[in-house]
Amino acid sequence: MFEMLERINERPEPFQFYTASDLWTDDHTSAQMLSYHLNDDIDLSSRNARFVNQSVEWIASRFNLGAGTKIADFGCGPGLYASRLAQRNADVTGIDFSKRSIQYAQEVAIKDGLAIHYVNENYLDFETDDRFHLIMMIMCDFCALSPIQRKNMLSKFYTILEPGGSVLLDVYSLTAFEQREEAATYETNLLDGFWSPDKYYGFLNTFKYEEEKVVLDKYTLIEASRTRTVYNWLQYFSPEALESEFVEVGFTIDKLYSDVTGSQFDMEKTELAVVAKKL
């Protein structure tokens, strides 16, 4: 028991483990995540409908969307952005790890008569011969990736963008990092049964890495039949750090905002959004 508690409370190296499939491909947790996506009262998996509508209005204006505009939505979830953008005649491809979310998005597209191309795949592995005018990665997905994964992702974006094309993504800021605190909690059926339909004991250890500006929420989940650990990493960014990652692979920064509705950039906000261009 002592050795198990030691492992539960052990601090790994930043991004030492990658467990995204435990969240997005598990039947139970993917259903939970979809319910969060579709719950307009919370901003967990997706932002509320009012924000998404405002965001789409700004995106349509900012990037002059219309017929023939090709968009790739990385981490599209149940298609909240993809469907709205397709309604504006954009040619949209949505990529997401969750089979359940993609199935839901496809059903909505069929019902609404929208010709959206959905791909059920870990977007780290996504390859295509298509070329896009706009690539989006929204809801701070970029923060969950390791430095190597982020570099590979940006290189992929650069390859599949048309010359003059843009990337729009958002990240958590250093203001948000300062608001996080280390903690250790234990609870039966942690997060109200999010992790399993059966009884389990959940341990949550939150670690901060000051030098790297990284936070880890480490979930240890003990069920009758198995024990597993899920690592939820988040990288937090200064404007300079975010810009350097884009510039390294050939992008130029067009403009910074406070969020993906085009709000004026403010260092004190908990998020920042970037528009980067391939020249």
Q: For residue range 200-229, list pLDDT tens digits in order.
A: 999 999 999 999 999 999 999 999 999 999
Mean pLDDT of 116-128: 97
- What confidence category does residue 46 fall into, taking pLDDT thresholds of 50, 70 and 90? low
Going by their DSSP bridges, the two strands 70-74 and 91-96 should be labelled as parallel
Residue 51 predicted with pLDDT over 70: yes
Residues 62 and 196 placed together within one structural domain of the fold? no
Query: Is 144 strand, coil or helix?
Result: helix
Residues 228 and 241 placed together within one structural domain of the fold? no
Cβ pair 71, 133 in contact under 8 A: yes
Residues 113 and 251 placed together within one structural domain of the fold? yes
Q: For residue range 170-190, list pLDDT tens digits in order.
A: 999 999 999 999 999 999 999
Largest CA distance in the chain: 62
Residues 116 and 165 placed together within one structural domain of the fold? yes
Residues 66 and 101 placed together within one structural domain of the fold? yes
Residues 227 and 259 placed together within one structural domain of the fold? no
By residue range, what is the domain housing residue 196? 2-19+176-234
According to the model, what pLDDT value does residue 275 have? 98
For residue 254, the 8-state DSSP code is E
Six token digits for residue 184: 């250790």
According to the model, what pLDDT value does residue 1 have? 87
Residues 66 and 103 placed together within one structural domain of the fold? yes
Residues 161 and 59 placed together within one structural domain of the fold? yes
- What confidence category does residue 121 fall into, taking pLDDT thresholds of 50, 70 and 90? very high
Its pTM stands at 0.94
Q: For residue range 137-156, list pLDDT tens digits in order.
A: 999 999 999 999 999 999 99
Residues 52 and 113 placed together within one structural domain of the fold? yes
Residues 168 and 202 placed together within one structural domain of the fold? no
Q: What are phi and psi of 252, to 5 degrees?
A: -120, 145
Residues 70 and 187 placed together within one structural domain of the fold? no
CATH number of the domain residue 76 falls in: 3.40.50.150
Last residue of a domain, one of 204, 219, 234: 234
Q: How many folded domains does the chain comprise? A: 2
Residues 97 and 161 placed together within one structural domain of the fold? yes
